[in-house]
Amino acid sequence: MPDGAAYMIADTSDLSLVRRVQAGDKGAFDALVLKYQHKVVKLVMRYVRNPAEAEDVAQEAFIKAYRALPRFRGDSAFYTWLYRIAINTAKNAMAARLRSPVEYDLDRGDSDHPNEFEARMKDTATPEALAMTEEIRSTVNAAIEALPEDLRTAIVLRELEGLSYEEIAEAMGCPVGTVRSRIFRAREAIDNRLRDVFEGGLGRSEEL
């Protein structure tokens, strides 16, 4: 990927950089790549588990973004527009192969609707609870893997990328209300899968 670090010093405003690219300054796009390449690769890795392939998919997403940039009007944030391109590119890349499990960071919560199981894990720092970490992580991975694609994308962008509901709506091209519904349904599915783990594991430890 390009290393035009000098462009980061002058002006890091996304829209300003976009306007410079649209005016013919190819180097300004290097600054956008430098700014977002890590986030895009990380996002793509939720779909394409092979690191080398994820790099290739991310590079393809940036190429598509560069080609489409002349049509970018600035109606939405550049990074949500870029995320949408990256998501679609990753989906296309995995269309012909089996999907791999997605890792879910149990330490990331939602300030609007805290996950009851995350709260219980933080409040129950017993050796027994800590010993269940791998089982819980595996259960969550399986739960996310089983989600429909739209729910899976929404929960990944919210919990792992930390995007707001409005930003996810822009990235996924749907109303905010739809995003809220998808995230609620995704959390409900994950919580249902976790309930047996907590009731069978933490429940016993609390009775000791």
Instruction: Indicate whether 146 and 77 sit together in one domain.
Output: no
CA angle 2, 162, 21 (to 5 degrees): 30
Instruction: Indicate whether 19 and 69 sit together in one domain.
Output: yes
Count structural domains, the chain. 2
CA angle 143, 144, 150 (to 5 degrees): 130
Closest CA to 104 of 45, 172, 163, 53: 45
Instruction: Indicate whether 86 and 120 sit together in one domain.
Output: no
Domain end residue (candidates: 64, 94, 124): 94
- What residues contact residue 101 under an 8 Å CB cut-off, 6+ apart? 49, 141, 142, 144, 145
Domain end residue (candidates: 59, 94, 129): 94
Q: Which domain holds residue 173?
A: 116-207
Closest CA to 193 of 147, 128, 152, 153: 147
pLDDT band at 18 (very low <50, low <70, confident <90, very high): very high
Assess if residue 105 is contained within a domain.
no
Domain end residue (candidates: 30, 61, 94): 94
Mean pLDDT of the chain: 75
For the full predicted model, state whether its pTM sits above 0.75.
no
Instruction: Indicate whether 25 and 80 sit together in one domain.
Output: yes
Closest CA to 92 of 80, 84, 103, 82: 84
**In the predicted model, is pLDDT for residue 172 greater than 60?**
yes
Assess if residue 154 is contained within a domain.
yes
Helix or strand holding residue 124 (H, E): none
Q: In this structure, what CATH number is given to the domain that contains residue 124? A: 1.10.10.10
Instruction: Indicate whether 80 and 136 sit together in one domain.
Output: no
Assess if residue 186 is contained within a domain.
yes
Assess if residue 99 is contained within a domain.
no
- What does the pLDDT read at residue 36? 92
DSSP states of 171-193: HHTS-HHHHHHHHHHHHHHHHHH
Assess if residue 110 is contained within a domain.
no
Instruction: Indicate whether 70 and 15 sit together in one domain.
Output: yes
Instruction: Indicate whether 90 and 120 sit together in one domain.
Output: no
Instruction: Indicate whether 65 and 147 sit together in one domain.
Output: no
Assess if residue 16 is contained within a domain.
yes
Distance CA 146, CA 88 (A): 19
Instruction: Indicate whether 160 and 79 sit together in one domain.
Output: no
Compute the Cα dihedral for 99, 104, 110, 115 and give only its sign: positive
Q: In this structure, what CATH number is given to the domain that contains residue 33? A: 1.10.1740.10
Collapsing DSSP to helix, strand or coil, 112 comes out as coil
Amino acid identity for residue 166 in this structure? E
Distance CA 87, CA 48 (A): 11
Report whether 90 contacts 107 (CB < 8 A): no
Report whether 58 contacts 66 (CB < 8 A): no
Instruction: Indicate whether 23 and 90 sit together in one domain.
Output: yes
Collapsing DSSP to helix, strand or coil, 24 comes out as coil
Encode pLDDT of 78-124 as tens digits: 989 999 999 889 888 876 454 444 454 444 444 444 454 455 444 44
Instruction: Indicate whether 34 and 87 sit together in one domain.
Output: yes
Instruction: Please indicate whether residue 138 or residue 180 has the higher confidence score (pLDDT).
Output: 180
Distance CA 103, CA 152 (A): 12
- What does the pLDDT read at residue 126? 53
Report whether 91 contacts 149 (CB < 8 A): yes
